[in-house]
Structure 1
Amino acid sequence: MAVKLTKLENGLTVVTDQMEYLKTTALGVWVKAGSRSEGEQENGITHLLEHMAFKGTTKRNAREIAEEIEAVGGEMNASTSVEHTNYYVRTLADDVPLGLDILSDILQDSIIDADELAREKHVILQEIGAAQDTPDDQVFDVLLETAWPNQPLGRPILGTPETVNGFSADAIRQYVERKYTASDMVLAAAGAVEHEALVDLARANFSKLSNSAPDEDNLAQYVGGEGAIERDLQELQIILGFEGLPYEHEDYYAVQVLASILGGGMSSRLFQEVREKRGLCYSVYAFHWAFADTGFFGVHAATGPEDAAELTEVLVDQLKEIAKGVSEKEVSRAKAQLRSGLLMALESPAARAGQLARQVMIYGHPVAIEELEKRLNAVTADRLQVLAEKLFATDNPTFVKVGPKAPMLNYAELKERLAGIKA
């Protein structure tokens, strides 16, 4: 594999990985703009903009955008996250110029038609409704709102019906001008791609991007606490967690190993204790989200109300137990799982392009797989014990629930049970 990076005169970064054995190319533009980039009254505008990008430009209407890429057997989509938005295509190698032309068109020349905007608002309202009807989605919105209240990181990516209905075409254009700057964008490609040829295409196609100074996001302030939505459901969705680590923290890979040991797979502690031994739920797992300046380490489970009390007690006990230490066997298994994920990404051009784009946005440059493996291999059992104590010995865990009312540990009791963990 041959990873190359070029920064254009306007600030746009182009990064590629030529995978010579492939006949297709995954190509995308990643923008450092997500839901945490929004003001309070802008909540949801990043996601709406992502939808509107496909609804017509100065030279293509919405149908022509879809037809042109599909006429050559390609596919196109986009997604919005907390910190990034990405627009991507997958095409045969010969059709990369077309894919890039369409990407540059929708990112620079979208017209934000009033009729299309009204229709797409309605689509997003349906999307918001679907998320609210899905308890295991809704509980994560409650998590964000509880962990980071009254700040951009704590607001839903989709926005609310009130904010979405309030957006005008001018507001969207102003947001684009402020956030879609060349220096905050990465063009990444993997597969059958020639770096210099793509650089030439990018230089010719992305000349209209703003090169104004980036608009920095506000720092997040973790708060934590208790949040709940009571609903008449068969199962109660539960998340218990703590402030985690940002991407660039020295223990980033250690916290991923810790999450894997605790609840990453069928051999993990939580799966064995909660599901296999006690049969308290179907799904239970641990996770760690990393953001630019903070993170979240959590455990998610769903159970019937009759088992909620025992489940929460077991979750707390497992957190206390892992803070006492882990075995070398557990560390080895977790490292193998994470290493496998890293290497599998190298076999998928779409995953590889996304990996490169995120690395450039976080570190400013691609990171060699050998360096990632080195960081992962440096994790030790002793370090994991110190890290677990540090994460879990806190006065402000986050505890959120969505579902039926059930007898279980309350927030004060949960904090008291966790107090035995020493930092």
Structure 2
Amino acid sequence: MSVECTRLANGMTVVTEHMPHLESAALGVWLNAGSRDERQGEHGIAHLLEHMAFKGTHTRTARQIAEEIENVGGEVNASTSVETTAYYARILKDNVPLAIDILSDILTDSVFDSVELEREKHVILQEIGAATDTPDDVVFDHFSETAFRDQTIGRPILGTPDTVNSFTSDQIRTYLRRNYTADKMILVAAGAVDHDAIVKLAEDRFGSIASSSTETPEKVEAKYTGGEYRETRKLMDAQLLIGFEGRAYHAKDFYASNVLANLIGGGMSSRLFQEVREHRGLCYSIYALHWGFSDTGVFAVHAATGEEDIPELVPVILDEMRKVADRIDEPEIERARAQFRSGLLMAQESPAARASQIARQMLLFGRPIPNEELMERLENITTQRLTDLAARLFFDSPLTLSAVGPLDRLMSMEEISGSLSTAQGLPRSALG
């Protein structure tokens, strides 16, 4: 398998990987724009635009868009994140031209009909309501808002009922014109595809898109603030997130942070799962995560537990953080490397996963990253490097706490911070 890249005259990048012996393909357009690129008064418009793109063009109705791709057994979908938006399809190899035609149609010729807009607003309001009724969604939304207070990077992607209801078709077109430009677009195709044929189709269908926009302001650098959010609800369980500032994509410790998250709480063999769930039975769900953005990141532990277990659970989590800053054994890193390696290789057996993987690398680093280079980065992560990183993450970063549920027995912010601050002053041999 080999990855080929071509930049079109308007600045759009086309990347393909031919995967022998496959009869299907996955392809999509990934944009370097998301909810973070919304301006004042646009909260939620990136996500609304993603929905409206499928609601009809000048040549296809919403029903025709769905029927044409499903008539050939394919599927089409989209997603919006903080910094990216993606429109993608899975089809059999003979239907690649149809998929590209549909994607180009919805991205370049959508109508944004006012009747459809009001209908889709109602759908998104239901989506917001469903998220509000789901405690594990609420706890993450407020975690982001608290970690990046008063910044677009921390706002819920869905928007609010007030902002969604306020949008007009013209506002959607303004956001599209400013952000859906060729220099921000990457067309990726993997599977039974031919690079030259994909490039020609892209030139025909996407060549008219503007190269760039003079309206795009320079992105404001994110500032991690930390803080506390608590929402007491009468629930059967409590949702808890304890977090710290993570590392940006291009930071030296980005991959090390991912390995650390895996080691602490990335699977059934991780420290938190074994100690908290298996050994003590203090919760039914616990894991660690590391999210990287272009200029910052977050590292957090999420747990879902019953009210009666909160007093014991949080100190155990903090204790495991102290322990990992004191000692990490080589077999733990080897296990994390093996999990990363298997995930990398397994993704290359699926055209959809491989297309997404390539798109992510192109958006983050401007080029596909060879497996050998990724594994070399992992091999350079030592136990000393990880313990030093853990100490800096957990002891030097402002704390972010987000909690929803029965919280009367949850430690105070000062007690949690104090526990980690006390550990910072101890010699390594005294930790754990």
TM-score (norm 1): 0.98
Structure-1 separation of matches of 2:232 and 2:110: 42
Structure-2 separation of matches of 1:197 and 1:236: 53
Taking only the aligned residue pairs, the percentage that are identical comes to 57
Q: What's the CA shift for 1:421?
A: 4.0
Q: Which residue of 2 aligns with 1:306?
A: 308
Q: Does 1:324 align with 2:326?
A: yes
Q: Which residue of 1 aligns with 2:254?
A: 252
Structure-2 separation of matches of 1:328 and 1:21: 39
Q: Which residue of 2 aligns with 1:401?
A: 403
Q: SS of 1:26's equivalent? A: strand
Q: Does 1:384 align with 2:386?
A: yes
Structure-1 separation of matches of 2:382 and 2:243: 23
Structure-1 separation of matches of 2:376 and 2:3: 19
Q: SS of 2:411's equivalent? A: coil
Q: SS of 2:235's equivalent? A: coil
Structure-1 separation of matches of 2:21 and 2:297: 37
What is the number of residues matched between the two proteins? Answer: 423
Q: Does 1:142 align with 2:142?
A: yes
Q: What's the CA shift for 1:286?
A: 0.5
The aligned runs of 1:206-225 (5 Å cut-off) are: 206-213=206-213, 215=216, 216-225=218-227
Cα pair 2:8 2:207 within 8 Å, conserved: no
Q: Which residue of 2 aligns with 1:365?
A: 367
- What amino acid sits opposite 1:173 in the alignment? R
Q: SS of 1:393's equivalent? A: helix
The aligned runs of 1:24-35 (5 Å cut-off) are: 24-35=24-35
The aligned runs of 1:234-273 (5 Å cut-off) are: 234-273=236-275
Cα pair 1:306 1:406 within 8 Å, conserved: no
Cα pair 1:244 1:290 within 8 Å, conserved: yes
Cα pair 2:245 2:397 within 8 Å, conserved: no
Structure 2 unaligned spans of 5+: 426-432
Cα pair 1:281 1:302 within 8 Å, conserved: yes
Cα pair 1:323 1:421 within 8 Å, conserved: no
Q: SS of 1:218's equivalent? A: coil
Displacement over 4 Å in runs of 4+? none
Q: Which residue of 1 aligns with 2:36?
A: 36
Structure-2 separation of matches of 1:190 and 1:135: 37
Q: Which residue of 2 aligns with 1:121?
A: 121
Structure-2 separation of matches of 1:171 and 1:154: 22
Q: Which residue of 2 aligns with 1:14?
A: 14
Cα pair 2:358 2:368 within 8 Å, conserved: yes
The aligned runs of 1:45-60 (5 Å cut-off) are: 45-60=45-60
Structure-1 separation of matches of 2:8 and 2:191: 21
Structure-2 separation of matches of 1:217 and 1:54: 28
Structure 1 unaligned spans of 5+: none
Q: What's the CA shift for 1:213?
A: 4.1
Structure-1 separation of matches of 2:359 and 2:70: 25
Q: What's the CA shift for 1:395?
A: 5.3
Cα pair 2:347 2:353 within 8 Å, conserved: yes
Residue 417 (structure 1) aligned to one of 394, 416, 419? 419
Q: What's the CA shift for 1:169?
A: 0.3
After superposition, the C-alpha distances for 1:298-355 in whole angstroms (9 at most, x for unaligned) are 0000111111111111111111111102001111111111111111111111111011
Q: What's the CA shift for 1:40?
A: 3.5
Cα pair 2:177 2:213 within 8 Å, conserved: no
Structure-2 separation of matches of 1:416 and 1:422: 10
Q: Which residue of 1 aligns with 2:23?
A: 23
